[in-house]
Amino acid sequence: MNSTISNLLDLGNQKFSPKGKVYYQLSVPELIEHALINREGSLTINGALAADTGKFTGRSPRDRYIVYDDETKNTIWWGDINQALDVKYYKMLLDKMCQYMEKINLYIRDGYVCADERHRLTLKVITESAYQNIFANNLFLRPNNNERFLSIDWTIIAIPSFEANPTTDGVNNPNFVIINFVEKTVLIGGTGYTGEIKKSIFSVLNYILPKEKGVLSMHCSANVGKKRGDTALFFGLSGTGKTTLSADEQRMLVGDDEHGWDHNGIFNFEGGCYAKCVGLEAKQEPQIFNAIKFGTLLENICLLEGTRIPDYNNISKTENTRAAYPASFIEGALEPAVALHPQHIFFLTADAFGVLPPISKLTVEQAMYHFISGYTAKVAGTEAGVNEPVATFSACFGKAFLPLRPGKYAAILGEKLQDHAAKVWLVNTGWIGGAYGVGKRISLHYTRNLIKAALEGDLDQVMYQKHLIFGLSYPTICPGVPSEVLSPRDSWEDKDAYFIQANKLAEAFVANFKQYEKGVSAEVMAAAPKKIDYRKGVVS
Ligand code: ATP
Ligand code: MN
Q: What is residue 437's three-state secondary structure? A: coil
Say which DSSP state 311 is in: E
Q: Bridge-partner residues for 65, per DSSP?
A: 83, 178
How far is the C-alpha of 460 from the C-alpha of 464, rounded, in Å? 10
Residue 238 CB–ligand 1 contact under 6 Å: yes
Q: How, if at all, do strands 231-236 and 342-349 pair?
A: parallel
Taken in order of first residue, the domains within the chain and their CATH numbers are 3-34+58-213 (3.40.449.10), 343-539 (3.90.228.20)
Whole-number pLDDT of residue 146: 76
Residue 239 CB–ligand 1 contact under 6 Å: yes
> Is 239 annotated for ligand binding?
yes
Catalytic residue among 119, 124, 142, 242: 242
Q: Does 445 qualify as catalytic in the annotation?
A: no
Q: Does 361 qualify as catalytic in the annotation?
A: no
Q: Does 213 qualify as catalytic in the annotation?
A: no
CA of 238 to the centre of ligand 2 (A): 7
Residue 275 CB–ligand 1 contact under 6 Å: yes
Give the pLDDT of the chain (540 residues) as one tens digit per residue. Answer: 344 444 455 443 335 678 899 999 999 999 999 999 999 999 999 999 999 999 999 999 999 999 999 999 999 999 999 999 999 999 999 999 999 999 999 999 999 999 999 999 999 999 999 999 999 999 999 999 878 999 999 999 999 999 999 999 999 999 999 999 999 999 999 999 999 999 999 999 999 999 999 999 999 999 999 988 899 999 999 999 999 999 999 999 999 999 999 999 999 999 999 999 999 999 999 999 999 999 999 999 999 999 999 999 999 999 999 999 999 999 999 999 999 999 999 999 999 999 999 999 999 999 999 999 999 998 865 555 556 889 999 999 999 999 999 999 999 999 999 999 999 999 999 999 999 989 999 999 999 999 999 999 999 999 999 999 999 999 999 999 999 999 999 999 999 999 999 999 999 999 999 999 998 999 999 999 999 987 755 443
Catalytic residue among 142, 199, 251, 467: 199
Q: Phi and psi of 109, rounded to 5°?
A: -140, 130
How many CB atoms are located within 10 Å of the residue 16 CB? 20
Whole-number pLDDT of residue 5: 47
Q: Can you tell me which atom of ligand 1 is nearest the CA of 284?
A: 20
Say which DSSP state 147 is in: P
How far is the C-alpha of 530 from the C-alpha of 469, rounded, in Å? 5
User: For residues 519 and 407, is the Cβ–Cβ distance under 8 A?
Assistant: yes
Q: Does 243 qualify as catalytic in the annotation?
A: yes
Task: Kindly compute the dihedral angle of the four CA atoms of residues 379, 193, 133, 16, in this order, to the nearest 10 degrees.
Answer: 160
Residue 273 CB–ligand 1 contact under 6 Å: no
Ion ligand 2 nearby residues (CB, 5 A): 242-243, 257
Residue 481 CB–ligand 1 contact under 6 Å: no
CA of 227 to the centre of ligand 2 (A): 25
Q: Cβ contacts of residue 515 below 8 Å, gap of 6+?
A: none
Name the strand (E) or helix (H) holding 180: strand 176-180
Instruction: Please report, as a single letter, which amino acid is at residue 202.
Output: F
